[in-house]
Chains A and B, each alone.
Chain A
């Protein structure tokens, strides 16, 4: 159990276009989902925390108007990169939190590789 999927797994787009990435918890309900960004040979950088039915909380330095997050249901969160530019090229990973008694149990999706030309 505790499977998280992401779609698409990779996407190539032209500069100036918008790209939507979906994150789904397949076999559990996730009241909280997280979006991370990872550059090559770097760690995961938390971009935002998404709670179902409310506005996302963005980390310092992350442009909320550029990275639109929607968490409309307990199993789906979306990240839209608006007006993408080459510097937005990265590996985007979501995770979904399953409530556990003792700790913040997060399950990660397989990631989406975005390349902006």
Chain B
């Protein structure tokens, strides 16, 4: 079993829809959870960071962590064509541990 599983997509949704992106993981020691957005031929940029379980909201983005299920989600409200990108989940256990990335989900927002 891989440490982090993420559906590669592609996921296509109409503009304005709510997008749900998810990852599962196997290591119960993970407690720092991140979502990165990566545009084609660019480096990843940090979108959201969450520590332990719970929800975090930032504008149109909401990150959720359910440690009991080892499941994390990123929700995008009022999706825009500019949200079209690959979204990578990432996580680690201790602050100084290397970060483990998911494979990324390719998202297409259709105008």
User: Could you tell me which A residues sit within 8 Å of B by CB distance?
Assistant: 4, 6, 34, 41-44, 46, 49, 91, 93, 95, 102-111, 113
The 10 closest A-B pairs by CB, nearest first: A108-B43, A43-B103, A43-B101, A103-B32, A44-B101, A110-B43, A111-B43, A108-B44, A93-B43, A109-B43
CB neighbours of B8 from chain A (8 A): 41
B13 nearest CB across to chain A (Å): 19
Q: List 30 A-B contacts (CB under 8 A).
A: A4-B43, A6-B43, A34-B98, A41-B8, A41-B103, A41-B104, A41-B106, A42-B103, A43-B88, A43-B101, A43-B102, A43-B103, A44-B44, A46-B98, A93-B43, A93-B44, A95-B43, A102-B32, A102-B51, A103-B32, A103-B34, A104-B96, A104-B97, A106-B46, A106-B99, A108-B43, A108-B45, A109-B43, A110-B43, A113-B41
What number of residue pairs across chains A and B have CB atoms under 8 A from each other? Answer: 54
B108 nearest CB across to chain A (Å): 14
Other-chain residue from B43, B45, B92, B104 in contact with A43 (beta carbon distance below 8 A): B104
User: Could you tell me which B residues sit within 8 Å of A by CB distance?
Assistant: 6, 8, 32, 34, 36, 41-46, 49, 51, 88, 92, 95-99, 101-104, 106
Q: In the complex, A109 Cα to B101 Cα: how many Å?
A: 16
Q: Are B42 and A110 in contact (CB under 8 A)?
A: yes
Q: Are B95 and A49 in contact (CB under 8 A)?
A: no
B33 nearest CB across to chain A (Å): 9
A61 nearest CB across to chain B (Å): 14
Known: A43-B101, A43-B104. 12 other contacts (CB 8 A): A6-B43, A42-B103, A43-B88, A44-B101, A46-B98, A46-B99, A49-B98, A91-B41, A103-B51, A105-B46, A107-B46, A111-B41
